[in-house]
Amino acid sequence: MQRKWYQKRSIISLINILVFIVFIVVFESYTFTKSKLETKNLSQLIQFFVWNLDDASAKQYLDVYIKNQNINKVVIRHPNGKEFLSIEKTETFSLTQSVLKFLFLIRTYPLQEPIFYEKENIGTIEVYWINENIYIYFYAFIILILITIIAHFYVETIIQKNRLNQAFKEINELKIQQDADYYLTSLLIRPLCYINFPSRNYILQHYLDQKKKFTYKKYNTEIGGDFILVKEIQLRKRDYILFINADAMGKSLQGGSGILVLGSILYAILKRLEFRKDDQNKYPEIWLKYLCLEIQELFESFQGSMMLSAVIGLIDVNSGIMFYVNFEHPYPIVYRKGKADFIGNNYILRKIGYPKVFQQDIKIQVFELEVQDIFFVGSDGKDDIEMQSEDGTKYINEDETLFLRLVEKYEGELPLIIEAIKQKGKIIDDISILKFHVIHKEVPHINDIPANHTHRLIEEIHTLIRQRKFQQIYILLKPYVEEYGSDNSLLYYYAASCYKLKKYDEAIEIGERLLNRIEIIKPIYYILIKSYLAKNELNRSSYLLQEAKKVKLDDDKVNKLELLLNKKQSSTLEKL
C-alpha cells in the first residue's frame, strides 16, 4: 500500500529536527530576555546600597542572590567606571561542566544595566550569566527521540491497521464472491439432488446435512459433496426404485462441483430413459451397468481431479430384489429381526473417476430384501466423528461397527440414530443417509410354487431336463425371469432352454445378465459363445472365448468352440 507523505520516516525525522531547532531558537530568546529582565530588576534592588556606599550589605545581598541564580559574577561600577563591588561565585565547575564549557556548550555572557537613584545615574551593574540550557536541550532531545519513536510506531500501527482493513475488505469482497459462487452452485445442485418416491411397498426416510453452511445476502444455505437421489423408473414394464448415495471428493465448492457433474449426467440419462424404448427394454443389471459406465467415463475425463464414492442401485418394487454397485462407499446395512449386518463386503470397486487401468470390471451385486427389513446406505460422514477419550484426548472414530450398534439399539429409527451420532461426538464431514423400510412385497408363483422357493423350482426343472422338455422349461421360467430373477441357476436354465429352442436373442440377453453379476455360472460362457456364433457375431464370440479360457472351463469344449469360431472366421474371409 502506498504511504502518504506524512507517513514517511524521512519526513517525520525532518519535521522533528526542525521542531528541535525552533525550540532551541525560541528557548535561547526566552533565556536572554529573562536574563535581561532579571539584570534590570537587580539594578533596581541594589540602588539603595550603592547610593549609601554600603558595600558590605550589598555584598551580603548579592552573595545570597548569586547562590540562587545561574550567575557566575556580578560587578558594580561607579559612573566614572571605577569598580565599587565585585562578587564571584565560589563554587567550582564539575568535570562534566568543564568539558561542556570547553566545548562552548555552557557559556557565560555579561549583561549591563545602569543604576538610578531618584532619576540620577549612580553607577552600572554587570551580571555574568551562565547559560546552561544544554541540559534542557539534552532532555528535550531525549524526549524528542522518544516522541519520534512513538510517532514511527504510531504511523506503522496506522499503516498496518490500514493494510489490515484493506486486506479485510479484499477478503470480504472475495468471500462475497465466493459465497455467490457457493450460492449459485447450490441453486444448480438443488433440482438435481431430489427424492421422487411414490412407492407403495416401502417407507423412505433420508437425512442430508452438508458441513459447509454460509449466508449469501438474506439466504442461509449449505453446500457440500454428499448427494442423494431416489426416483421410480420403469424397465421392461416393471417398477424399480433407483437410489444413489454419493460422496464427491473435496470440500465445499470442489465437492459441490462433483455433485453438480453427477446430477447433470443423471438428469440427462433419466430423461433419455423416458423416451428411448431400447433403454426401457433393458434388464436391470444391464441398464445399471451402462449407467455406471457412463458416469465412470465422464468422471474419468477429469484425470483423477474429480472422483466420488457411491452406492448406485435398483430395487424391484414388487419383489424386493435389489441390484446395486458399490464404488468404495461404506457398506450398505440391512437390519433384519433385531440384527444389523453389512452386505456386499465381499466385492467393492474403486471410486468413480479412477482410471480404467485401476478400475475393475463393473459387476452387479444382488440382494433380496424381506418384509420388515430396513435397508441403510450412507456416506462416511456417519462414521467420521470427532470423539474425546476420558483423558481429554480427541480422536476420529475408526470403528465402522458403531453405526451398526446404533441401528440395533434404536431399532432402525433414523431420527434417534442421527441424534445418537451427534451425542457421541462432533460430526466433521458431510453426512447423508438413506433408509428403506420394506412393508410389503409380492412374490409371484410359478406353477403354484412361490418364486423364492428356488429349490422346488430347480427340482421341477431337473425333471424336465431329463425329459428334454425345453419348451416347457422356457414357458415355466419365463415369468420367473421377468418378475423375480434372483437365482442364477434358474436364469442359466432359462438361457439354456432359449438356446435349445434357437431363441438366440433371449439366450444372449439372459446370458449377459448372468455375466454382469458377481457370482458367475461358468457354463453360461458356452451358451453365450454358441448363441453369438449362431448369429454370426464373431467379435463378441472371440472375446468371450478368451474370457472362458481365463475361468478354466473344460478344455475339450473350449477347443471345439475355438475350432468352430475359426471356421466361421475363415468362411467370412472367403466371402470377402
247 and 276 belong to one structural domain: yes
SS3 state of residue 78: coil
Residues 383, 298 share a domain: yes
| 415 and 489 inside one domain | no
Question: What percent of the chain has a predicted confidence (pLDDT) above 70?
Answer: 97
List the beta strands (DSSP E) in 120-184.
120-131
290: left (phi over 0), alpha (psi -120 to 50) or beta: alpha
Where on the phi/psi map is residue 247: left (φ > 0), alpha (ψ -120 to 50), or beta?
A: beta
Task: Decide if 341 is inside a domain.
Answer: yes
Higher-pLDDT residue of 402, 576: 402
* pLDDT band, residue 4 (cuts 50/70/90): low
Residue 431: is its pLDDT beyond 90? yes
φ/ψ bin of 43: left (φ > 0), alpha (ψ from -120 to 50), beta (otherwise): alpha
Hey, what's the cell of 114?
545602569
Residue 470 has pLDDT above 50, yes or no: yes
Residue 337: exposure state from Cβ atoms within 10 A (0-12, 13-18, ≥19): exposed
**CATH number of domain containing 469:** 1.25.40.10
For 310-328, the DSSP string reads EEEEEEETTT-EEEEEEES
**459 in the same domain as 432:** no
Looking at residue 2, its pLDDT comes to 52
For residue 388, give the 3-state DSSP assignment. Answer: strand
- All three cell numbers of 66, joined, read 548569586
Q: Residues 546, 531, 287, CA angle at the centre, nearest 5°?
A: 80
Residue numbers of the domain that contains 122: 5-137
Indicate whether 77 and 206 sit together in one domain. Answer: no
Using one digit for the tens of pLDDT, what is the confidence trace for 17-72? 888 888 888 888 888 888 889 888 888 888 877 777 777 887 888 887 887 777 88
Query: 307 versus 178: which is more confidently predicted?
Result: 307
Measured CA to CA, the distance from residue 542 to residue 565 in angstroms comes to: 7
DSSP state string for 38-57: HHHHHHHHHHHHHHTT-HHH
Per-residue pLDDT of 386-417, as tens digits, reads: 888 888 888 888 888 999 999 999 999 999 99
291 closest CA partner among 320, 269, 322: 269
Phi, psi of 92 (to 5 degrees): -90, 155
Average pLDDT of the segment spanning 452-475:
92
CB 107 within 8 Å of CB 71: no
Q: What is the dihedral of CA 55, 58, 63, 69, to 10 degrees?
A: -140
pLDDT tens digits, 88-126: 877 777 777 777 777 777 788 888 889 888 888 888 988
Once rounded to an integer, what is the mean pLDDT over residues 311-317? Answer: 96
SS3 576: coil
Q: Which of 138-142, 234-238, 500-504, 511-515 has the lowest mean pLDDT?
A: 138-142
Residue 181 lies in a domain: no
Integer Cα distance of 13 and 19 in angstroms? 10
Read off the pLDDT band of 9 (50, 70, 90). Answer: low
- Determine the pLDDT at residue 130: 82
Q: Is residue 358 in some structural domain? A: yes
The pLDDT of residue 140:
84
Instruction: Find cell 424386493 and name the residue.
Output: 320
Instruction: Choose the most confident range, by mean pLDDT, from 188-192, 308-312, 518-522.
Output: 308-312
Q: Is residue 356, in this structure, part of any structural domain at all? A: yes
Instruction: Answer whether residue 148 is part of any domain.
Output: no
* Gap between the Cα atoms of 457 and 494, Å rounded: 12
What does the alpha-carbon distance between residue 435 and residue 206 come to, in Å, rounded to a whole number? 6
- CATH code at position 355: 3.60.40.10
Query: Over the stretch 471-495, which tens digit does the pLDDT of each residue have?
Result: 999 999 999 999 999 999 999 999 9
Same structural domain for residues 489 and 427?
Answer: no
> Do 267 and 252 belong together in one domain?
yes
- Residue 282, amino acid: K
In a domain, 172, yes or no: no
Instruction: Please report, for residues 325, 351, 364, the alpha-carbon distance to residue 360 in angstroms, rounded to integers and kept in the order given.
Output: 12, 11, 12
Residue 367 scores a pLDDT above 80: yes
CA distance 248 to 257: 8
* Of the residues 90, 106, 137, the one at which a domain ends: 137
Query: What cell was used for 431?
Result: 453426512
Across the range 297-325, mean pLDDT stands at: 93
H/E segment holding residue 234: strand 226-235
Domain endpoint, select from 110, 137, 164:
137
Same-domain status, 379 and 251:
yes
Q: What is the mean pLDDT of residues 286-303?
A: 92
DSSP-derived secondary structure letter, 364: B
pTM of the model: 0.74
Q: What is the pLDDT of residue 5?
A: 47
Position 103 in a domain:
yes
Is 50 exceeded by the pLDDT of residue 526? yes
As a residue count, the chain comes to 576
pLDDT at 108: 84
pLDDT at 305: 86
Distance (Å, rounded) from C-alpha 89 to C-alpha 96? 18
Instruction: Report the alpha-carbon angle 289-290-296, nearest 5.
Output: 90
| pLDDT band, residue 3 (cuts 50/70/90) | low
Q: Is the pLDDT of residue 439 over 80?
A: yes
pLDDT exceeds cutoff 70 at 85? yes
Name the nearest CA neighbour of 62 among 77, 43, 80.
Answer: 43
The pLDDT of 465-470, averaged and rounded, is 93
CB 37 within 8 Å of CB 51: no
The chain-wide mean pLDDT, for the chain, equals 87
Residue that finishes a domain, picked among 438, 468, 500: 438
> 399: which DSSP letter?
-
Q: Higher-confidence residue: 505 or 357?
A: 505
The total domain count for the chain is: 3
Q: Are residues 30 and 133 in the same domain?
A: yes
Residues 432 and 450 reside in one and the same domain: no
What is the structure's pLDDT at 11?
A: 76
For 8-12, 83-87, 221-225, which range has the lowest pLDDT when averaged over its residues? 8-12
User: Is residue 182 in some structural domain?
Assistant: no
**Residues 389, 395 contacting (CB under 8 angstroms):** yes
Res 555 pLDDT > 80: no
Mean pLDDT of the 304-311 span: 91
Q: Are residues 205 and 298 located together in one domain of the fold? A: yes
DSSP 557: H
* pLDDT at residue 437, as a whole number: 96
Q: Are residues 363 and 489 in the same domain?
A: no
What average pLDDT score do residues 286-294 get? 94
